[in-house]
């Protein structure tokens, strides 16, 4: 094989219209891209338009182009979840056939009591909530009492928020490691992830420290395309929270890319500047964390336009033997009711590997990993997904 590189960029939460099973998730009508565009009177994404984003779906301000510079299509998730972990795992060949436990009424008393005993602090909250909202609501009480703010969402997550002026960051991490052992590490998987959510500031102006967020997830239950690429002797560089999502499995280098999506793109470019062959797998989380969950279509639109403005740099860093895949892991429609992810198909743009062509609707996210592995010459046997190369 020639020295080749594959780059997968995940626009976290940027869905492209309701999935066939959206009704089962209560998400009929969700469309992150189209509804964002409509809410702001149209998007200005000239570089994504040239690649063919407007050929994937009807998008105000982004018309289709006659000769897209990328192959284009949609992907449908097979996993029984609309979560970040499920989406990323499926891209790399692991499909969650059964949904992980969720806690719409909060966590059982025995879990909360044990967490309090093991950490030496009591718990407040313990219900599904938006992270920013529950921090604003319960932050003053945490400042007075030193209690943990524990909350969950529609996903299978145990989230612990702590004001770093009251509870040191390392104590928060230690507590989340204890929760991880309780909920994941004792032979029974009770949540998909434990998430440390530090924040600072004053009542009415609290600010989450996204650069210090840390996820403690379940270990992949089987081999992934990341493992296959690593075994083939190539680098696998994880940018952003990809390392945490896979618990470090199949990853040779981790670039956190803190504190924002711009820094994560810088990290991806840094990786391309130093590696001869292998895979760069980058997650741009701001779309989801800062704008989708906060139901901020203006912020979502602005972040899309910022990403569009950086695309020429990313494309310019590619060589003739490189492949770029831009996609998403789920939806998070900022115009939709609630604050949770939305069950959507996701956009797919692929640069390199032949003449641009329509890719249709792919039946699984695993086609991403299959295509990257095929391009890099790694073994694909036994894992789901079909290469479009």
Q: How confident is the model over 305-355, as pLDDT tens digits?
A: 999 999 999 999 999 999 999 999 999 999 999 989 999 999 999 999 999
Binding site membership for Mn(2+): which residues? 12, 288, 293, 329-330, 341
Task: From the options 3.20.20.80, 3.40.50.300, 3.40.640.10, 3.30.70.1250, give the CATH code of 109-217.
Answer: 3.30.70.1250
CB 127 within 8 A of CB 257: no
Of 189, 39, 190, the closest CA to residue 107 belongs to 190
Query: How many Cβ atoms from other residues are within 10 Å of residue 331's Cβ?
Result: 32
Query: How many Cβ atoms from other residues are within 10 Å of residue 280's Cβ?
Result: 28
The pLDDT assigned to 139 comes to: 98
Query: CA distances (Å), 312 to each of 62, 265, 309, in order?
Result: 17, 12, 7
DSSP 294-313: TT-HHHHHHHHHHHHHHHHH
The pLDDT assigned to 278 comes to: 98
CB 147 within 8 A of CB 121: yes
Q: Which two tokens stand for residue 279?
A: 């895979």
Residues of the chain with CATH 3.40.720.10: 5-94+220-376
Q: How far apart are CA 131 and CA 152, in angstroms?
A: 9
The pLDDT assigned to 155 comes to: 83
Cβ neighbours of residue 77 closer than 8 Å, sequence gap 6 or more: 19, 86, 87, 90, 330, 343, 345, 346, 364, 365
DSSP H helices, 27-156, are 32-39, 46-51, 53-56, 84-91, 109-119, 131-145
Tell me the pLDDT of the chain (389 aa) as tens digits.
Answer: 568 999 999 999 999 999 999 999 999 999 999 999 999 999 999 999 999 999 999 999 999 999 999 999 999 999 999 999 999 999 999 999 988 899 999 999 999 999 999 999 999 999 999 898 999 999 999 999 999 999 998 889 999 999 999 999 999 999 999 999 999 978 788 998 999 999 999 999 999 998 899 989 888 989 999 999 999 999 999 999 999 899 999 999 999 999 999 999 999 999 999 999 999 999 999 999 999 999 999 999 999 999 999 999 999 999 999 999 999 999 999 999 998 999 999 999 999 999 999 999 999 999 999 999 999 999 999 999 999 99
The pLDDT assigned to 99 comes to: 84
Q: How confident is the model over 88-137, as pLDDT tens digits?
A: 999 999 999 988 899 999 999 999 999 999 999 999 999 999 898 999 99
Residues of the chain with CATH 3.30.70.1250: 109-217
Cβ neighbours of residue 167 closer than 8 Å, sequence gap 6 or more: 121, 142, 146, 148
CATH topology of domain 5-94+220-376: Alkaline Phosphatase, subunit A (3.40.720)
Binding site membership: which residues? 12, 288, 293, 329-330, 341
Residue whose structure tokens are 């695309």: 311
Q: How far apart are CA 241 and CA 321, in angstroms?
A: 27
Per DSSP, what are the bridge partners of residue 330? none
Q: How far apart are CA 271 and CA 43, in angstroms?
A: 30
Q: How far apart are CA 102 and CA 182, in angstroms?
A: 16
Q: How far apart are CA 79 and CA 227, in angstroms?
A: 20
Of 294, 272, 289, the closest CA to residue 281 belongs to 272
Q: pTM for the whole thing?
A: 0.89
């Amino acid at each position: 094989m020639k020295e080749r590189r594959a780059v997968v960029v995940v626009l976290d939460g940027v869905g492209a219209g309701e999935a066939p099973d959206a009704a089962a998730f209560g998400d009929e009508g969700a469309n992150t891209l189209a509804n964002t565009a409509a809410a702001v009177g149209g998007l200005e994404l000239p570089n994504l338009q040239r690649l063919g984003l407007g050929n994937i779906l009807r998008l105000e301000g982004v018309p289709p182009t006659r000769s897209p510079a990328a192959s284009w299509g949609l992907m449908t998730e097979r996993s029984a979840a609309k979560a970040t972990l499920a989406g990323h795992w499926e891209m790399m060949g692991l499909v969650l056939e059964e949904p992980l436990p969720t806690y719409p009424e909060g966590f059982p008393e025995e879990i909360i009591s044990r967490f309090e005993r093991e950490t030496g602090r009591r718990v407040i909250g313990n219900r599904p909530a938006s992270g920013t909202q529950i921090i604003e609501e319960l932050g003053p009480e945490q400042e007075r009492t030193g209690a943990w703010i524990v909350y969950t969402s529609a996903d299978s997550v145990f989230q612990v928020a702590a004001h770093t002026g009251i509870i040191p960051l390392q104590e928060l991490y230690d507590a989340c490691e204890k929760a991880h052992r309780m909920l994941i590490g004792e032979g029974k998987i009770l949540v998909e992830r434990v998430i440390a959510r530090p924040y600072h500031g004053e009542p009415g102006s609290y600010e989450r420290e996204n650069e210090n967020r840390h996820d403690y997830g379940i270990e992949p239950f089987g081999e992934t395309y990341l493992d296959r690429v690593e075994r083939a002797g190539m680098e696998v560089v994880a940018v952003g929270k990809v390392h945490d999502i896979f618990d470090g499995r199949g990853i040779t280098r981790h670039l956190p890319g803190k504190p924002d999506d711009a820094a994560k793109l810088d990290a991806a470019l840094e990786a391309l500047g130093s590696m001869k062959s292998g895979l760069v797998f980058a997650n741009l989380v701001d779309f989801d964390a800062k704008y989708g969950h906060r139901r901020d279509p203006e912020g979502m639109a602005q972040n899309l336009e910022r990403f569009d403005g950086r695309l020429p740099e990313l494309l310019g860093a590619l060589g003739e033997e490189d492949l770029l895949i831009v996609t998403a892991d789920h939806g998070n429609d900022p115009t939709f009711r609630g604050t949770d992810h939305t069950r959507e198909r996701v956009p797919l743009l692929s640069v390199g590997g032949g003449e641009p062509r329509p890719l249709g609707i792919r039946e699984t996210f695993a086609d991403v990993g299959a295509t990257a592995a095929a391009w890099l010459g790694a073994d694909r046997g036994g894992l789901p997904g079909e290469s479009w190369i």
